Each structure stands twice: as C-alpha cells, then as structure tokens.
Amino acid sequence: MGKVAVLGVFVADLAFRADRLPVMGETLLGHSFAMNPGGKGSNQAVAAARMGAEVTMITRLGDDNFATMADALWESDGITPHVTRDAGSYTGAAHIFVDAVSGDNAIIIAPGAAADLSPADLENARDVIEGADVFITQLEQPLDAAMRGLEIARGAGAVTILNPAPAAALPREMLALCDYVTPNETEAEALSGVKVTRVEDARRACAALKGLGVARPIITMGAQGAYLDGHGLVPAVKAGPVVETTGAGDAFNGGFAACLASGMAPEEAARVACAVAGLSVTRAGAAPSMPNRDEVMALL
C-alpha cells in the first residue's frame, strides 16, 4: 500500500456526552464518559494504517500513563513510532463535549510535550520522511515544525498533505509546499475568505487557495462529501446512523493519504476516503472509530 509519514499530536480523548454545554459557573449532569486515544496526527496515522499503509508517527510524548496508551495503540495497529520522550512534560489530552442528540462535538486540546515539537525533531526524522510516499501533517503542533516537515518531504519528492486544523493563518511559502490542503468548511473560510456552504462556494474557495500556492485543494463538507479541485464534489458515503462526528475529518485524511501512497488516482482516493469517514461516524470515539480496509471495500 505504500509508506505514509505522519507528523502530529497524540492526545488522550476525554469525551463527555450531555444534552448541552454548561454555561459558565454551572455544573451539568452528563449521560456518559469515555477515554480513548486521539489527536489529529495519531488518528490519521491509525486510519492510514488500517487502510493498509506502512505508517510512521512522528511526535513527542511525556512519560506517563497516556504515553502508555499511545504505545499500545500504535503497536496494535502496526504503526512505527518515531517519538521523543519528555519526562519533564506530559502527554497531550483533549476535552471533548459530544451533543447527545446530534452527535456533534466541541473540543479543547492541550498538546503537552508535542507542543515542543521543533524543526530539529523533523531533521531527526529526515530518513523517515524522505523514505515515505506521502507526508501528512496538521496544525496541532508548532507551525515551524510542520513547515520543516513539508520542506523535507517536498525536497525528497514525497506527496505532501496539509490538514490545516485547527484553523490558522498560514504563510504563502508554507501553502506552496503542499500538493494537497484539506480544510473543512470553517478552515477553508479562514484561509480563503470564502464562506463555504455549497458546492459553488467550495469551487471559489479552491480557486482562492490555488492563488495562494496550493497545488490541489480538497474541502471536506461533512454530510455533502468532499470537493476536489478540478473534479468537483465527491459525494459522502452513508454507512448507517450517525453516532459521533469526532474524528471524521481525520478518517478522511488518513484514508486519502493511504490511497495516494498506494498509487491510487486522487479522484478515486477521495471516493475511498469518503467511505472511510462515512464508516467512522457510525461509531463512537476517534481512533477506535477508524475502519479497516476490508470494511471500506465492502461498503464501496
């Protein structure tokens, strides 16, 4: 299936389900609590690995119980860790509020040791990045680390993917290093200035992103699917009732990266990635919701 190098963050997801968010100063009884492995980079690594790619995860962890959770997850999915341990910090954690009615979520993330990822960490991982078919990163770790990873990958001829989440202003020189940028509607608006709700909006946002140097933007549009520049809307793949949308974007990105690494055309890779995301939202959790290749192919 090819090799995928992922730069990103691992966090322990602490998910609370309730009918609504409490207002400031209020204590609210919830319906349930669950703790699972998460973090955009780690989620994408799991999604890519379960789709059959050979995956290496580049990050920093503390020396604590959450780091043990990361080790166990990556071992179970055959992911090779390229990890720096920092006993003076902590492994990241995220508070996730899940609306018990709609399944939508709101998240606070504290990256911990991964907040100290630097260009030097990427230099230390140069062999991994240069040996990959696809390099993918996000914005939960520092911008300069993501930038250096993209530079090394581009110099080695790897396909580069930036998932610009959480939304942030990005320099043109960074966007110019990206073969693909994969924002959702909110992130696309932050980068392009175009409010994205319809397919026509996505087309205009993609044109603006190309003007900033992105080779080929893809805008993920939730239940509508994903808009691939130069192709159009790739429809969402419905796999069943929506349980939780946490990790759906990561499922798409990891699936897309794995498919590109295998040599699949981007149009077909986006279609498969929509199926990966479609299956993920029928299950609770982030990393635990990622489907395997057999499930995805059976759905398609």
pLDDT category at 101 given cuts 50, 70, 90 is confident
Residue 52, helix vs strand vs coil: coil
Cα 113 versus chain centre, distance? 19
Task: Domains for the chain: give ranges and CATH numbers.
Answer: 3-9+43-56+117-299 (3.40.1190.20)
pLDDT for 105 equals 81
Active-site position among 121, 179, 229, 250? 250
Beta bridge mates, 32: 17
pLDDT category at 106 given cuts 50, 70, 90 is confident
Query: For the residues 283-298, what does the mean pLDDT come to?
Result: 92
Distance, CA of 115 to CA of 43 (rounded, Å): 17
Sheet architecture: strand order including 159-162 = 80-85, 54-61, 3-7, 134-137, 159-162, 180-181, 216-220, 225-228, 232-235
Distance, CA of 139 to CA of 161 (rounded, Å): 12
Residue 19 is among the residues annotated as catalytic for this protein? no
Of the chain, the percentage scoring pLDDT greater than 90 comes to: 88
Question: Which is nearest to 30 in space by CA: 38, 21, 39?
Answer: 21
pLDDT for 1 equals 79
pTM over 0.95: no
pLDDT for 107 equals 84
Angle in degrees, 0-180, between the axes of helices 248-261 and 266-280, rounded to the nearest 10: 150
Question: Which is nearest to 209 in space by CA: 184, 172, 163, 234?
Answer: 172
With b for 16 or more beta-carbon neighbours within 10 A and e for fewer, the 2-19 pattern comes to bbbbbbbbbbbbebbbbe
**Tokens at residue 299, please?**
């759905």
pLDDT category at 246 given cuts 50, 70, 90 is confident
Residue pair 287/57 in contact (Cβ under 8 Å)? The answer is no
Contacts of 271 (CB under 8 A, 6+ apart): 234, 237, 300
Residue 157 has pLDDT above 90, yes or no: yes
DSSP secondary structure code for residue 114 in this structure: G
